[in-house]
Structure 1
């Protein structure tokens, strides 16, 4: 298996024209069905968000400073255990977009006709900008769905928007975002690895390890 550093170099060397070709070959147009923003069965919606993306959503003029870290992000649930009171505790890695009581993304809304919309669309994270596509490199979010190109680098998750016409300009925009996401995910994975130190949280406490170190659930550094 290649090192994360080697995978990062591969991500940086990705040709966006090739990525755009793959995207254009299958086609895509968002139908605003909301499937990528909703929880599934009993599982809450889970989409990785980088620390700087959390801060961008916090600081967005659209929300007039009404959001704090916990409004935007929650600890990634993997590796955490549940206390007798139903709270989570333990250590985990990275952040997920916050969810509402239904398990849907907190930024997702539907109008009376059932058409979905992201209220943070202009500031949405890279994982949302690139859905339903991903790049199959170790250290990036696990690719789901079928390979789009012959090399199997670009994958497409099941989505009703696939197979629809897409302009070359939109395919290129998506390709640039897809490459940026792959690079960012690998940079984050390397930084998390390098910054990690066991935190030994107290009972009932959650510690999140991200590229900036160990944090509490409100995003403040653990050592403060």
Structure 2
């Protein structure tokens, strides 16, 4: 039987993750970004879906974009708003008479008309790139890896490879050890420097902590929304919001 632990216990485990252990696991799998764009684009009828935290949305509202990239699907930073950056996570919403409606949890990066991330573009040589690379969210900084801790569900779909992490000090059993998961990406298996592995490991630890802090915030702030017919309400760690990011009670 799976050992189900509280979110608070998971958060403590995430905070205790050793960057060196994560870096070792990343090195053992290997990774180098080939800039193929697969993690930034939609596939068939499936739109690109990447979770973005509320503070990341606000940062991306003001993030400068790379002027050398073509095909930007978002306004310049001075004209950019919440809805240009993020959309309600589609899971749990239903198709109503006037489009999607209902309540959902968390935000996803906005997409363009092709289902690609709105911040994805191609350079003059046709190579994919992020137009806000320096300000990209943690989920983008850490793909194709994720960290699983005892009792947590598996994010980002099925893993194609995984490495068990050493049990942390004070763990009651090996079952409390975490696992580094690698998800489908053509860059897997390539040599990675120790410096890059450690940088990626630090971002993975930060993401694991932030995801659990967000989940706890959503749980603590959640109340069923008194919404209008045809309206979408998004619950995040700051409370219930409209699709433009404004608090529902305003």
Q: Establish whether TM, by shorter chain, passes 0.5.
A: yes
Match of 1:214 among 240, 244, 250: 240
Q: Distance in 1 between matches of 2:187 and 2:109?
A: 22
Unaligned runs of 5+ in 2: 66-75, 166-177
Say whether the 8 Å CA contact 1:56–1:123 is kept in structure 2. Answer: yes
Give the superposition deviation at 1:140. 7.3
How do 1:69-218 and structure 2 match up within 5 A? 69-85=82-98, 87-137=99-149, 138=152, 141-142=155-156, 144-151=158-165, 153-218=179-244
Deviation, structure 1 residue 112: 4.6
| SS state at 2:79 partner | coil
- Matched-pair contact (CA < 8 Å) for 1:147–1:153: no
- Is the aligned partner of 1:59 residue 2:62? yes
Partners of 1:130 and 1:144 in 2: how far apart?
16
Distance 1:65 1:7 in 2: 39
Given that 2:156 and 2:183 are in contact with CA atoms closer than 8 Å, whether structure 1 keeps it comes out as no
Structure 2 match to 1:10: 13
SS where residue 88 of structure 1 aligns?
Answer: strand
SS in 2 for 1:65: helix
Aligned residues: 223
In the TM superposition, what is the alpha-carbon distance from 1:59 to its structure 2 partner? 1.9
Q: CA deviation at 1:116?
A: 0.2
Normalising by structure 1, report the TM-score.
Answer: 0.95
Secondary structure of 2:146's counterpart equals: strand
- Deviations 1:6-49 (Å, cap 9, x if unpaired)? 11111011011000001011111110000000112201100000
Give CA-to-partner distance per residue, 1:112-158, whole Å, 9 cap, x none. Answer: 54310000111000000000000013167356313432346100001
Shift of 1:200: 3.2
**1:143–1:174: structure 2 CA closer, same or farther, 3 Å change rule?**
farther
1:65-102 per-position Cα deviation (integer Å, ceiling 9, x unaligned) = 221000000000001011133x1110000000000000
The answer on 1:33 being equivalent to 2:36 is yes
Taking structure 2 as the reference length, the TM-score comes to 0.85
Contact 1:139–1:189 (8 Å) recurs in 2: no
